[in-house]
Amino acid sequence: MHVLKQPHDDGSEPNPDARAGDIPAKLGRAIVITSGKGGVGKTTTTANLGTALAARGARVALVDADVGLRNLDIVLGLESRVKYHVLDVLDEQVTLDEALVRDKHNETLFLLAAAQSREKDEVDTQKMRDMIHALRERFDYVLIDCPAGIELGFKNAVAGAQEAIVVCTPEVSAVRDVDRVVGLLGNAFRPQLIVNRLRPAMVKKGKMLSVEDVNAILRLPLLGVIADEPEIIITTNKGEPLARSRDGATASAYHAIAARIAGEDVPAPAPEEAKESFFGKLGSIFGGKR
């Protein structure tokens, strides 16, 4: 029986040379993808980063923590292959091996689906933590797709993670929610930021927050910026993550973020400049909050 560890106390890094079939010598990294606000792109980000990390040869497990409202299976196009889910594993009905669904395209990418017809309060936090640890013994990366909100589902999603990626859209409400989540996470998770759905043309017109505006409030290490593209909606509906290809700016951006997660010194995309800053507005919200 393993002893549960605090985040980072083992100092483990994934083995960048791990290939399919290899058992990582050290524990993999468990990273929760979170945001507070819903609909900012957590699931899409999880699917694409998982795909991009697996394309690098890493063994990746994607865990859908949104019990009752799962969607990661759809975004990956694996919904018809899901037989068992997280709660089946936690209830010891099936083994991890039986519940993990291998991706159709990526040998080293696996999905552990959430239960659709169960409730979040059926998840035992300690068991969830143990399960994530068991996954870390077998995978280089365990990406946990967190549900919206900061209720029990959030707490369970975060339980086994050591690191956090927070996804934020350039909207005041999303920034406020992310700020709250970062506060709840504390420093232990070393949260890093992905700004999602940026529309550079709107930023130029002063109609959208710039990456600087967002990060002037959040002050987090910037992992990457993803533009708002109709392709995202299309590929999500079709269950084919964009990052399966390397063509196009958005797919490249996901691969660059994956490289940065893996520790490569790839520059973050240059953030757009806003002509008219929203900073005054943001300052009033965050400066004056109760």
Decide: is 148 part of the binding site for another protein (CB under 8 A). Answer: yes
- 188 vs 233 by CB, closer to another protein: 233
> Residue 57, interface with another protein (CB under 8 A)?
no
Among 21, 230, 267, 280, binds another protein (CB under 8 A): 230
Residue 271 CA to its chain's centroid (Å): 21
Stretches 55-63, 71-79, 214-222, 251-259: which one binds another protein (CB under 8 A)? Answer: 71-79
CB of 52 to another protein, least distance (A): 20
* Phi, psi torsion values for 100, nearest 5 degrees: -70, 130
Contact assessment for residue 141 and residue 112, using Cβ atoms and an 8 Å cutoff: no
**Which one of 94, 96, 134, 202 is in contact with another protein (CB under 8 A)?**
202
- Of residues 83, 131, 79, 86, the one with CA closest to residue 104: 79
Total site size for another protein, rule CB under 8 A = 47
Give the whole-angstrom CA distance, residue 18 versus residue 28.
11
Indicate the residue among 162 and 250 with the shorter CB distance to another protein.
Answer: 250
Candidate residues 81, 180, 190, 204; the one interacting with another protein per rule CB under 8 A: 180
Report if residue 80 touches another protein, rule: CB under 8 A: no
Nearer to another protein, 141 or 154 (CB): 154
Taking CB under 8 A as the criterion, the residue among 15, 38, 200, 277 binding another protein is 38
Does position 50 interact with another protein (CB under 8 A)? The reply is: no
- State which of residues 31, 89, 161, 208 lies at the interface with another protein (CB under 8 A): 208
In the bound state with another protein, the residue whose beta carbon lies nearer, of 203 and 261, is: 203
Based on the shown chain and the rule CB under 8 A, indicate whether residue 280 belongs to the binding site for another protein: no
Per residue, what are the HEC states of the chain? CCCCCCCCCCCCCCCCCCCCCCCCCCCCEEEEEECCCCCCCHHHHHHHHHHHHHHCCCCEEEEECCCCCCCHHHHCCCHHHCCCCHHHHHCCCCCHHHHCEECCCCCCEEEECCCCCCCHHHCCHHHHHHHHHHHHCCCCEEEEECCCCCCHHHHHHHHCCCEEEEEECCCHHHHHHHHHHHHHHCHHHCCEEEEEEECHHHHHCCCCCCHHHHHHHHCCCEEEEEECCHHHHHHHHHCCCHHHCCCCHHHHHHHHHHHHHCCCCCCCCCCCCCCCCCHHHHHHHHHCCC
CB atoms within 10 A of CB 275: 10
Contact call for residue 284 and another protein (CB under 8 A): yes
CA proximity to 248, closest of 216, 220, 281, 226: 226
> Between 21 and 288, whose beta carbon lies closer to another protein?
288
Find the shortest distance in angstroms from Cβ 43 to another protein.
7
Per rule CB under 8 A, is residue 39 in the interface with another protein? yes
Q: How far is the CB of 51 from another protein (least distance, A)?
A: 17
Interacting residues with another protein between 231 and 260 (CB under 8 A) = 233-234, 236-237
Interaction between residue 121 and another protein (CB under 8 A): yes
Q: Which residues bind another protein (CB under 8 A)?
A: 36-40, 43, 68-69, 71, 74-75, 116, 119-121, 147-153, 169-173, 176-177, 180, 199, 202, 207-209, 230, 233-234, 236-237, 278, 281, 284-285, 288-290
